[in-house]
Amino acid sequence: MWGITGKNARFGDERRAARTMHAGIARIAVRGPVEHGVLEISGELDFSSVDDALEVVASLPHHMVSIDLAGLEFVDGAGARAIEQMRDDRAELHHERPAIIGATPAVDRTIRFVRSRRARMLTH
């Protein structure tokens, strides 16, 4: 795994085993080939880092089959909305919504809460 930092950093060879970028205090890595990558989000994804994280993920050429949150230590409502936005964007792009894997109970609760609030807002 190799790391790069900054908004204009390049990911280089699309076939490398993993690529890593930092968005604020969150770390975003991609494992696997372009055809079926796994997006790993670790650290803290909160209001201060969501815009950078969404920008980084939007620039990835990968078809994400899952989003691994095992290393995510903290997520607030804005971070959970960003994760759902990433899933929506990838579903629109590749017609398949990435699965969420490895979330801790606290992260999972926050994402479920945001998802339920969002569903209620869409129906009213």
What does the pLDDT read at residue 11? 44
Which of the two residues, 123 and 99, has the higher pLDDT score? 99
What does the pLDDT read at residue 4? 31
Report how far apart, in Å, the C-alpha atoms of 120 and of each of 73, 81, 84, 92, 117 are: 27, 14, 15, 21, 5
Give yes or no for residue 123 having a pLDDT over 70: no
Q: What is the distance between the alpha carbons of residues 78 and 4, in angstroms, rounded to a whole number?
A: 24
Give yes or no for residue 1 having a pLDDT over 60: no
Give yes or no for residue 98 having a pLDDT over 80: yes
Where do the domains of the chain lie? 2-123
What does the pLDDT read at residue 5? 33
CATH superfamily to which 2-123 belongs: STAS domain (3.30.750.24)
Q: What is the distance between the alpha carbons of residues 72 and 33, in angstroms, rounded to a whole number?
A: 22
What does the pLDDT read at residue 8? 38
